[in-house]
Amino acid sequence: MSENHTAETSTAKDPTGSPTSPAPRPERTLPPSPSRSPHPSPRDRRAEPMFPGGPLADPAGSHHERRIRSFRPRRGRVTLGQGEALRRLWGQWGLDIDGLSRIDLGELFGDPDLPVVLEIGFGMGEATAQMAAADPGTGILAADVHTPGQGNLLALAERKNLSNIRVANGDAIILLREMLEPASLAGLRVYFPDPWPKKRHHKRRLIQPEFIALAATRLRPGALLHCATDWEPYAEQMLEVLTADPHFENAQPDGGYSPRPDFRPLTKFEGQGLEKGHVVHDLIFRRSET
């Protein structure tokens, strides 16, 4: 369990950690991960993989960077099958979000022409695997901090022979900010992000102006940003934030929520929300040309 992920201090400003200038940074901006030290302290050992060769516990050394997190670390209850998949497949299909280098997406997916979409927060990955199977012509870079889900998605990808999935471990904000090239993404999917319903936690919500401004820099013109939520107040916040950003146009001509598109499968969290009687909203915005 990497409690250091939860670091939240009075100096933290917003989830992106870069409120006014999400511009690309060519040089390393995070200190080296303590896991790379030849003599890690007991504290630094939290960064070590739980499974040999598997995802690092704290790939970006996040206790070095004080910032509000949009997630709670969830490393527990990894099944034997998930652990086995993490050990065996991480080296091939996994990526630690360490914030130390830029990624060439063509190289990562072994195809320079493959359009790649980023999915933030895939949970257990069932919907991700379904979307990858239905659309082999699109690469899905699936990011989450949830270790059991990472193992589950790797196992699903292998079982279903899905070569168009890569699993990224860590904070997707660091992935966007430090590791992805400008205009490199063909899409961004954020399905049922943690709603953080308590007022004092609203600052932890992912969809905020600073995050959307950062996302705009990494999406290519015409790319779709697709969000879905079953939490009405968060849906309203999403609509307001996305509508206000000049880099996006609502794909829905009336400027409201979009009908659920056929390509989005029912997700696990969505199912739980529907059982509680929640109403689900999809929001689809297009990255404008300018």
DSSP one-letter string for 218-238: HEEEEEEEEEEES-HHHHHHH
Q: Which position's Cβ is nearest ligand SAM? A: 121
- State yes or no: residue 194 binds ligand SAM (CB under 6 A): yes
Which member of 120, 132, 142, 238 binds ligand SAM (CB under 6 A)?
120
Annotation marks residue 98 as catalytic: no
Has 268 been labeled as part of a binding site? yes
Query: What is the distance between the terminal CA atoms of the chain, rounded to a whole angstrom?
Result: 43
Of 224 and 255, the one with the shorter C-beta distance to ligand SAM is: 224
- State yes or no: residue 206 binds ligand SAM (CB under 6 A): yes
Please list, in sequence order, all residues whose beta carbon lies within 8 angstroms of the beta carbon of residue 283, skipping any fewer than 6 positions away: 226, 227, 228, 235, 238, 239, 242, 250, 257, 258
Has 254 been labeled as part of a binding site? no
Number of residues that bind ligand SAM (CB under 6 A): 23
Site string for ligand SAM, 135-174 (x = CB under 6 A): --------xxxx------------------------xxx-
How crowded is the C-beta side of 277, counted as CA atoms within 13 Å? Answer: 0
Which member of 129, 153, 193, 213 binds ligand SAM (CB under 6 A)?
193
- Closest separation in Å from C-beta 86 to ligand SAM: 16
Tokens of 41: 């302290």
Which member of 4, 70, 147, 152 binds ligand SAM (CB under 6 A)?
70
Q: What is the β-pairing status of strands 281-287 and 219-229?
A: antiparallel
Has 248 been labeled as part of a binding site? no
Question: What is the C-alpha to C-alpha distance for residues 137 and 221, in angstroms, rounded to an integer?
Answer: 19
Q: What is the CA radius of gyration of the chain?
A: 18
- Closest separation in Å from C-beta 87 to ligand SAM: 21
Give yes or no for a contact between 65 and 29, defined as CB atoms under 8 angstroms apart.
no
Q: Provide the CA 139 distance to its chain's centre, in angstroms.
A: 14
Give pairs for 234-238: CB < 8 Å, separation 24+. 234/193, 234/195, 234/196, 234/205, 234/207, 235/281, 235/283, 237/205, 237/207, 238/207, 238/281, 238/283
* Residue tagged 């999935």 (tokens): 165
- Closest separation in Å from C-beta 42 to ligand SAM: 25
- State yes or no: residue 98 binds ligand SAM (CB under 6 A): no
Has 270 been labeled as part of a binding site? yes
- State yes or no: residue 123 binds ligand SAM (CB under 6 A): yes
Stretch that binds ligand SAM, among 16-24, 103-111, 241-249, 261-269 (CB under 6 A): 261-269
Has 181 been labeled as part of a binding site? no
Has 104 been labeled as part of a binding site? no
- State yes or no: residue 122 binds ligand SAM (CB under 6 A): yes
Catalytic residue among 44, 96, 194, 282: 194
- State the binding site: 119, 144, 171, 194, 198, 230, 267-270
Q: Which positions lie near ligand SAM, rule CB under 6 A? A: 70-71, 74, 120-123, 143-146, 171-173, 191-194, 206, 267-270
Which of the residues are catalytic? 194
